[in-house]
A and B are shown apart, each in its own frame.
Chain A
Amino acid sequence: MQDRTDLLEEQIDQWRSYLRRRQTIHSVEISELEDHLREQVGVLEAAGLASDEAFLVAVKRLGDLDALTREFAREHSGRLWKQLMVSSSGSGEPLAAARRDALVAFCLAAGAAAAVKLPQLFGIPLHGDGGFYLRNLSFFVLPLLAGYFAWKRRLHSRMWRWLVLGFGVAAVFANVYPLAPQSSSEVLTALHLPIALWLVVGIAYAGGRWRQSEGRMDFIRFSGELFIYYVLIALGGGVLSAFLVMTFHTIGINAQPFIASWLLPCGAAGAVVVASWLVETKQSVIENMAPVLTRLFTPLFAAMLVTFLAALAWTGHGVAIERDLLLGFNLLLVVVLGLLLYFISARDPWARPGAFDGMQVVLVVSALLADAVALWAIAARINQFGFSSNRVAVLGINLILLVNLTWSAVLYIRFLRGRGSYEGLERWQTNYLPVYAAWAAVVVIVFPPVFGYH
């Protein structure tokens, strides 16, 4: 009998936490429903049902949970927006956990902000020779961020060691080479180190699920949402700074030095952690932001590229070969890849191919054609330009993206013709993540000695 009641309590617990995840039903309402459920179970048990049977019948009589949450959402329509503020929707234990989580996140954000100013204590000024800050930008924030996730996911000490090792090795390679100040090697290191270390953050984020495709896909989703939150926070910060300057100007105080040496660097570092925490906390509410933007811009980008190709064919103009030509096309491929990734991340893998899938294929194929034209144009002249570290890095990224998108297009077309599964496409993208990090690591570790630290 004791087992029976325990089992019932466990089932009710599960049911409660399931409802709690639907953020449109508040905890007071859940306790009201729970009282109902318990009374119904009691009546059914008195009528001779076993407690687990009684529980099933009682839950069934409450009605379809989707329909129920919809009704609640309709009655409390303001609530979905209120969710954007961090609400104390849980009670008791979850609330304490949420508070602790917030506390840790804000402490880490403060830590990141302080870390930016730390080198100044050792006589390395922020606005002096920027090289040190440029190379070590990642180390002010990313270790703290990885630490936050490692703490949150309760990683094994073995995993902790790997994370520390990853950051340690990166820190050594970022600082050990005698890079010429302002050289392109230094700029390349500064640009590629965060990419490589972002993978380390991803391993912490995914916890034990990094080896699973779903775990890596969650990290892709997280990255997209983080980017959006970060941009929003940055916009807010810009507005704040503008008002700060304006109001203090009226009383004859120049606030710009404060902004340049404190608010901007510390804010930019702390905001990464805060934005990550927000994405984590508010995951279920606006996780659709990146996919919505994707849906909006996929047709526009596809139309732009198709028109470009048509104009290219029609006018017969060659592509003007300039120094930054490939860089521009790299950015284009990154955007297209982003559109593809965030479309994939939100698409129901079981849905039948639709018009939007066709649009994605048009987008990817036209981007590939455009890039091929650019590559063709530059290949002829590459000897003339010579192989500088910059050019090799840009060319390498272009090839990596080209391979990814080409195979994506093949997999996508196969899926559209019913000869491949959507999962294959998803898996290809998530398996490809380490390639970016590996290339970034090569640029940081191998390039400087090969190109003479210039």
Chain B
Amino acid sequence: MGIGKDLIAASSIPIVLAILAEEDSYGYAILQRVRAWSAGRIQWTDGMLYPVLHRLERLGHIAARWEVAESGRRRKYYRITARGRGQLAEERRQWQAVDATLRSLWGALLVPVAKAAR
């Protein structure tokens, strides 16, 4: 099941911030976490993660540093900032509001939706 482009774009920021709130990470590992947490339901085009990371970095929600990984390659790690945590809390509040609204709507519409689907 695919998820629409706009929804992916809108949800990418809270997802990335939440994953970085767990622990510092880098691009590839973040994508792995997204796949694992969404049980494969959310599939990002790998490359598109990086412009999102750079935007968050520019806005000061995350900070980056270069490290040498155990493979010997230079790797860019991202860390959430205090400002990012604030943003995450704000995003969480908004998404919960949307989620709660949709949940109650789904509850009320359960019968008609099922009928239409049939």
Q: Which residues of A contact B (CB under 8 A)?
A: 28-29, 31-33, 35-36, 38-40, 42, 61-65, 67-68, 71-72, 74-76
Contact = CB atoms under 8 A, between A and B. Distances in A.
A210 to B, nearest CB: 39
A38 B73 contact: yes
A36 B27 contact: yes
B50 A32 contact: yes
Contacts of B75: 35
Contacts of A39: 28
Nearest to A25: B50
Nearest to B74: A31
B54 A29 contact: yes
B51 A32 contact: no
B46 A35 contact: no
6 contacts: A31-B74, A35-B28, A63-B45, A63-B47, A63-B48, A71-B51
Contacts of B47: 33, 62-63, 65, 68, 71
User: In this complex, which of B47, B54, B58 has the most chain A Cβ atoms within 10 angstroms of its Cβ?
Assistant: B47
Nearest to A74: B51
Given A62-B47, A63-B47, A35 B54 contact: no
Given A40-B46, A62-B45, A35 B26 contact: yes
Nearest to A75: B51
Interface in B48-104: 48, 50-51, 54-55, 58, 69, 71, 73-76
Interface residues of B, number: 18
Contacts of A40: 28, 46
Contacts of A65: 47
Interface SS of B by simple majority: helix
Interface of B: 26-28, 45-48, 50-51, 54-55, 58, 69, 71, 73-76
Given A29-B54, A76-B54, A35 B74 contact: yes
Contact of B51 (A38, A42, A61, A72): A72
B110 to A, nearest CB: 37
Contacts of B54: 29, 72, 75-76
A31 B26 CA distance: 13
A71 B26 CA distance: 19
Shortest Cβ-Cβ A-B pairs, 8 listed: A63-B45, A62-B47, A63-B47, A71-B51, A68-B47, A75-B51, A39-B28, A61-B46
A34 to B, nearest CB: 8
Contact of B50 (A29, A38, A42, A74): A29
A36 B69 CA distance: 12
Given A32-B76, A38-B73, A76-B54, A71 B48 contact: yes
A349 to B, nearest CB: 30
B26 A68 contact: no
A72 B47 CA distance: 10
A35 B73 contact: yes
B33 to A, nearest CB: 14
Contacts of A32: 27, 50, 76
A63 B46 contact: yes
A35 B51 contact: no
Given A32-B27, A32-B50, A68-B47, 7 more contacts: A31-B74, A33-B50, A39-B28, A40-B28, A40-B46, A63-B47, A65-B47
Contacts of A62: 45-47
Contacts of B71: 38, 42
A71 B74 CA distance: 24
A65 B45 CA distance: 11
Nearest to A68: B47
Nearest to B29: A39
A32 B54 CA distance: 11
Contacts of A72: 50-51, 54
A76 B73 CA distance: 25
Contact of B28 (A29, A36, A67): A36
Contacts of A74: 51
A398 B45 CA distance: 58
B76 A75 contact: no
A76 B52 CA distance: 11
Contacts of B46: 36, 40, 61-63
Contact of A35 (B27, B45, B48, B58): B27
